[in-house]
């Protein structure tokens, strides 16, 4: 490194740099797409410049020359646009986007302890040539201010980290004092006159820290503290145990009939609920952490496919458990790519169909009760159910007779089958039959569901619903032959009673007439291989699986209860129909049922 640190201090600083640089790069991807749409937006241009400038300062301090070279070249090109000498063009945006990808790769190398490869000379030359209007040799003179700040001293980098850790937010997101065409504020990337390894500390060394005072002004963001995720996880586990103890006391209380115990349990119940909420909020993160990378992804995929696509992000401030935020990244990447690759037509095809040449993809999130709904919608060609049916039969994924009985909605569900694809040729993006089955599997692991709606010629809509947190799950407890089972409450539509004589047989499937709508009926006793009860009246829980609803017949319903999800023993993992287990209020173990697997094996599978 370019400064004298012990190993622990150096590692801590490098770890902080990696975290903050990745956040800045995520935002730069979104900002670069916005700038490409509006190249004359001075505020956006300055924000992008500050982002690269900040990463360059930290990389120079930690002695990562390839990062410095890439950021410096991009700065040269951006500075030429800021000064009005050379406007940004397609080559400039392509070079900047390629630079972002390289910086991400370099950060991964740093995190893995690998040697950094030199920056591609062709990329550097292209950016510098663009900065000088075509002459590579003249490029270094285009950004004298940036040239002076390749390295940072100890106090400068400490100020940089302070600015990144909540005092004023991440550079590039806002700057109230920014003036178009001027150099960025000192807190974004402090200036040092020479590398700290070769320069003795001058008498006025503390002066660069002076610009840190405005960070404490009342208008700045609230201070934050970085906490090890393992500590948060430990707190969540302890709160989970407390919830179990609270549920146990609430179950025992009616039997004892003691007024003082009632008051104590009521107080404990309220305090536990508040503590549970507070701990969960500490783990919450805006889904914008995931959404911020998608404008760049959409832009890159569209350019690769020679399509015109605009991605609109809605509800990025919606908060979700951090584990869920990270787990949703890959499924959403698949859905956005597929929306552009399979959904959005080529510009010529859209014009021929009477549509604008530019396609629209919408990525949105909103909280709905105790779960979050995330939607990927496009205005493309839509999905033809008959084509899906034919493709599945042709690939041997389903028998022709069974396919002929499927409704249009059920045909759409076939795209989630492993190995399904409508592409006749393999490309870098699709055609291998891998993707949508991964999406559904991942969402099911998160106790969520995926629904599809599509209309040929008008577009498609993929709706993901996941619980707010994976740690504690609101459930409906049902009882069967003395055992208790838990159903995720987000999947429960209603509870109703029915007489045995009300059930009918339609095409070999037992159904109930639910308000003049036949709904498949699955007996949980039959599914478990238990003898049917002799009672004439039974209780049915109406459940939602994708676009389909079905009734699950049980002996009785115990009511709602929040349970702490525990993984199944290794011997039971992968067993269809079970998602986990939990202790309930009376001390018994309850198995958490997988609603999608119940429908797949009990209704569609004919079990």
The model's pLDDT over 235-274, given as tens digits with 9 standing for 90+, comes to 888 888 888 888 888 888 888 888 888 899 899 989 988 8
pLDDT band at 421 (very low <50, low <70, confident <90, very high): low
Q: Whole-angstrom Cα distance, residue 106 to residue 100? A: 10
Most confident of 83-92, 178-187, 438-447: 83-92
Retrieve residue 75's tokens.
């700065």
What tens digit of pLDDT does each residue of 191-234 get? 333 333 447 444 333 333 333 333 333 444 456 677 777 888 88
What are the residue boundaries of the structural domains of the chain, listed by start?
Answer: 7-216, 229-285, 287-467, 472-604
Q: Phi and psi (nearest 5°) for 213?
A: -60, -45
The top-level CATH class assigned to 287-467 is alpha beta
Question: How much is the pLDDT for 169?
Answer: 41
What tens digit of pLDDT does each residue of 557-607 get? 988 888 887 777 777 766 778 888 888 877 788 888 888 888 888 887 644
The top-level CATH class assigned to 472-604 is mainly beta
Q: At what angle do helices 42-61 and 65-82 cross, to 10 degrees?
A: 160
Q: Whole-angstrom Cα distance, residue 82 to residue 329? A: 34
Q: Whole-angstrom Cα distance, residue 173 to residue 161? A: 15
The answer to whether the CB of 553 falls within 8 A of the CB of 538 is: yes
The top-level CATH class assigned to 229-285 is mainly alpha
Q: Phi and psi (nearest 5°) for 225?
A: -130, 140
Same fold, 7-216 and 287-467: no
The answer to whether the CB of 172 falls within 8 A of the CB of 50 is: yes
Q: Give the strand pairing for 359-368 and 309-314.
A: parallel
Question: How much is the pLDDT for 134?
Answer: 59
What tens digit of pLDDT does each residue of 167-179 get? 444 444 444 333 3
CATH architecture of 7-216: Up-down Bundle (1.20)
**pTM, entire model:** 0.62
pLDDT at residue 143 tops 50: no
* Number of residues that make up the chain: 607
Most confident of 222-226, 377-381, 399-403: 377-381
What tens digit of pLDDT does each residue of 22-43 get? 888 888 888 888 898 888 888 9
pLDDT band at 114 (very low <50, low <70, confident <90, very high): confident
pLDDT at residue 362 tops 90: yes
Residue 320, strand partner residues: 285
Q: Which of 585, 583, 537, 534 is nearest to 559 (CA)?
A: 585
Q: Phi and psi (nearest 5°) for 446?
A: -90, 15
The answer to whether the CB of 388 falls within 8 A of the CB of 422 is: yes
């Amino acid at each position: 490194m370019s400064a004298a640190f012990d190993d622990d201090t150096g590692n801590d600083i490098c770890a902080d740099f990696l975290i903050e640089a990745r956040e800045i790069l995520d935002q730069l991807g979104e900002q670069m797409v916005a700038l490409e749409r509006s190249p004359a937006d001075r505020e956006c241009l300055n924000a992008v410049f500050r982002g690269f400038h900040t990463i360059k300062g930290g990389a120079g301090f930690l002695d990562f020359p390839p990062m410095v070279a890439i950021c410096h070249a991009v700065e040269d090109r951006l500075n030429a646009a800021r000064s009005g000498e050379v406007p940004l063009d397609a080559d400039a945006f392509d070079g900047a986007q390629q630079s972002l990808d390289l910086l991400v790769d370099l950060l991964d190398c740093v995190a893995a302890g690998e040697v950094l490869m030199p920056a591609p000379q062709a990329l550097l030359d292209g950016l510098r040539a663009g900065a000088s209007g075509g002459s590579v040799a003249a490029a270094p003179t285009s950004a004298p201010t940036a040239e002076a700040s390749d390295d940072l001293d100890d106090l400068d980098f400490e100020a940089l980290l302070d600015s990144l850790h909540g005092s004023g937010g991440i550079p590039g997101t806002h700057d109230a004092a920014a003036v178009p065409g001027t150099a960025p504020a000192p807190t974004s990337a402090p200036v040092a006159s020479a590398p700290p390894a070769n320069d003795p500390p001058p008498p006025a060394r503390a002066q660069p820290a002076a610009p840190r005072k405005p960070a404490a002004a009342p208008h700045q963001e609230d201070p934050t503290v970085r906490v090890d995720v393992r500590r948060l996880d430990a707190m969540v586990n302890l709160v989970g145990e407390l919830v179990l103890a609270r549920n146990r006391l609430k179950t025992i209380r009616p039997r004892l009939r003691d007024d003082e115990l009632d008051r104590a349990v009521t107080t404990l119940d309220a305090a536990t609920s508040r503590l549970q909420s507070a701990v969960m909020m500490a783990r919450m993160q805006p889904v914008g952490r995931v959404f911020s990378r998608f404008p760049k992804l959409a832009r890159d995929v569209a350019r690769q496919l020679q399509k015109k696509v605009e991605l609109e992000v809605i509800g990025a401030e919606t908060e979700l458990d951090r584990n869920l935020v990270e787990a949703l990244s890959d499924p959403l990447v698949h859905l956005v790519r597929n929306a552009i690759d399979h959904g959005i037509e080529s510009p010529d095809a859209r014009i021929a169909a009477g549509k604008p040449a530019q396609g629209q993809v919408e990525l949105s999130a909103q909280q709905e009760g105790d779960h979050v709904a995330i939607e990927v919608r496009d205005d493309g060609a839509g999905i033809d159910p008959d084509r899906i049916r034919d493709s599945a039969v042709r690939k041997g994924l389903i028998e022709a007779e069974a396919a002929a009985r499927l409704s249009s909605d059920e045909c759409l569900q076939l795209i989630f089958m492993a190995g399904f694809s409508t592409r006749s040729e393999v490309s870098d993006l699709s055609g291998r039959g891998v993707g949508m089955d991964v999406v559904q599997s991942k969402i099911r692991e998160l106790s969520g569901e995926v629904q599809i709606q599509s209309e040929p010629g008008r577009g498609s809509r993929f709706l993901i619903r996941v619980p707010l947190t994976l740690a504690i799950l609101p459930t409906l407890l049902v009882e069967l032959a003395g055992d208790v089972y838990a159903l995720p409450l987000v999947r429960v539509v209603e509870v109703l009673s029915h007489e045995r004589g009300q059930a009918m047989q339609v095409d070999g499937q037992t159904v109930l007439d639910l308000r003049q709508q036949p709904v498949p009926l699955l007996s949980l006793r039959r599914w478990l291989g238990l003898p049917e009860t002799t009672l004439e009246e039974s209780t049915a829980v109406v459940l939602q699986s994708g676009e389909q609803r079905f009734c699950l017949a049980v002996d009785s319903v115990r009511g709602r209860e929040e349970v702490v999800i525990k993984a199944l023993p290794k011997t039971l993992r992968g067993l269809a129909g079970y998602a986990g287990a939990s202790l309930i209020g009376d001390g018994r173990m309850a198995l958490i049922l997988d609603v999608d697997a119940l429908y797949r094996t009990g209704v569609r599978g004919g079990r």
